[in-house]
Amino acid sequence: MMRMKRSAPPRPIFVSAKTLAIAAALLGVCVGEAAGADAPAKLVAAPAPDVAAPAPLPPAPLGVFGADMPAAGKLVVSIIPQFANLSHTLKGTRQVSSEEVVATTPWFGHPTLKLRLVPQNVSVASQTLALAYGITNYLSVVVTGGMIERNLDMLAFQGPTSLNRLGISHTGTDGLTDFTASTIYRVYEDPIHRIQLNLGMSFPTGSDHNTFRLLLPDGSYATSRAFYALQPGSGTFDVLPGIVYAGHIDKWSWGLSYRGRFPLAANPEGYLYGDLHEFNGWAGYSWIKGLTTTFRVNATTQGEIRGLDPMIRGKAQAANPNFYGGQRVELWGGATIAGALIGQDALTIALEGGIPVYQSLNGPQLSKNWQAGMALRWKI
């Protein structure tokens, strides 16, 4: 019987530590390459898509203060020329002739005598520089200053009582206007509506003692202190509070605003203007991007001048502080044109003109015929 030959047991394989280290390194490289090949592409984050900036708010009419605010850190420089014309004398709402004025209106300085000088026309031209800076998106500051020129055509009647017209003198005044500084704060905003408060002060940088030269009833000329309405400045410190509500949907925009002017005390000459209240309501339509037209209703009411300047004399209605103030309603139309339409992104042009539709004046007093203005704005 044959015996099975038993095989020898397997001999253990001895691997040196050096060999193991080399194998581990090679295995790591291979595993790393395989993991890299199989890794998903999302390990490298894709750049986020660009988010469009919010569309700018539609502009308010040129004559509304406190509605438009620059963005945070932005400065807007505005040059604002304005022009106005006044003629035709009103007593309340009734137009009166120059002859009726001198025949029926007592002289303020001597009530037993009648007036002898009647203004026929006043033209006004002003130039304002405004700087608006956005401290934040909800808070901005605005400062204004400028110059104003008023030209007067004054009719003189002959002698102390005659209704014969003697002649017309052409005179006027010019100078710096009062400086103003205001803040605007947005207290509420949602995708449609916003509410903004504004508060400012007016400082008496304009003169209140300019002089002019007039033809007198005896045919001579005299130089004296100009009437209240012809002085470039008020001479008083005034508080300027206001509030604006504005809204917009698609191409339509609208708003309401109020602004007041309240002198704190009489000026060194001894008088102060009556409190002024101004109300605005408007609607706008953006025809294309960068072109918005507006329609605005403006209403103002102001009291008489309180006190008097003893140096303002003369047998004329404008020398009487009681013949100032009244109520007025005006209709305005305007447009705002973005500079992008003409290749100037930083420039904006605003235009607006208006005419009165109702005037009830403390008079006799010259009534307003029209007013127009424009603004050139640079964003820095």
Integer Cα distance of 327 and 143 in angstroms: 28
C-alpha pair distances (Å), 42 with each of 47, 48, 137, 187: 11, 13, 38, 44
Residues 31-64 have pLDDT tens digits of 344 334 444 444 344 444 444 446 689 999 999 9
DSSP state of 98: H
Integer Cα distance of 142 and 167 in angstroms: 45
pLDDT at 8 over 50: no
pLDDT at 253 over 60: yes
User: Looking at residue 111, what is its pLDDT?
Assistant: 85
User: Looking at residue 340, what is its pLDDT?
Assistant: 83
The secondary element (H helix, E strand) that includes residue 370 is: strand 347-379
Across the chain, what does the average pLDDT equal? 89
Residues 198-231 have pLDDT tens digits of 999 999 999 999 999 999 999 999 999 999 999 9
Q: How many CB atoms lie within 10 A of CB 332?
A: 22
Residue matched to tokens 């007013």: 371
Residue 235 pLDDT class (50, 70, 90 cuts): very high
Residue 18 pLDDT class (50, 70, 90 cuts): very low
Q: What is the pTM of this model?
A: 0.85
Residues 72-95 have pLDDT tens digits of 999 999 999 999 999 999 999 999
User: Looking at residue 279, what is its pLDDT?
Assistant: 98
User: Looking at residue 54, what is its pLDDT?
Assistant: 60
Integer Cα distance of 285 and 254 in angstroms: 9
Residues with Cβ < 8 Å from 46, sequence gap 6 or more? none
Residues 188-202 have pLDDT tens digits of 999 999 999 999 999
Integer Cα distance of 365 and 177 in angstroms: 23
pLDDT at 3 over 70: no
pLDDT at 21 over 80: no
pLDDT at 14 over 70: no
The CATH number corresponding to 75-379 among 2.40.128.130, 1.10.10.10, 1.10.3720.10, 3.40.50.620 equals 2.40.128.130
Spacing of C-alpha 167 from chain mean position: 41
Closest by alpha carbon to 132, among 191, 67, 192?
67
Integer Cα distance of 45 and 59 in angstroms: 41
pLDDT at 158 over 90: yes
User: Looking at residue 275, what is its pLDDT?
Assistant: 98
Residues with Cβ < 8 Å from 65, sequence gap 6 or more? 142, 182, 198, 242, 257, 259
Integer Cα distance of 339 and 289 in angstroms: 11
Closest by alpha carbon to 230, among 213, 205, 212?
212
Over pLDDT 70: what percentage of the chain?
86
User: Looking at residue 28, what is its pLDDT?
Assistant: 40
Integer Cα distance of 271 and 228 in angstroms: 10
Show the tokens assigned to 364. 């006799």
Name the 3-class secondary structure at 295.
strand
Q: Euclidean distance between the first and final Cα of the chain, in Å?
A: 115
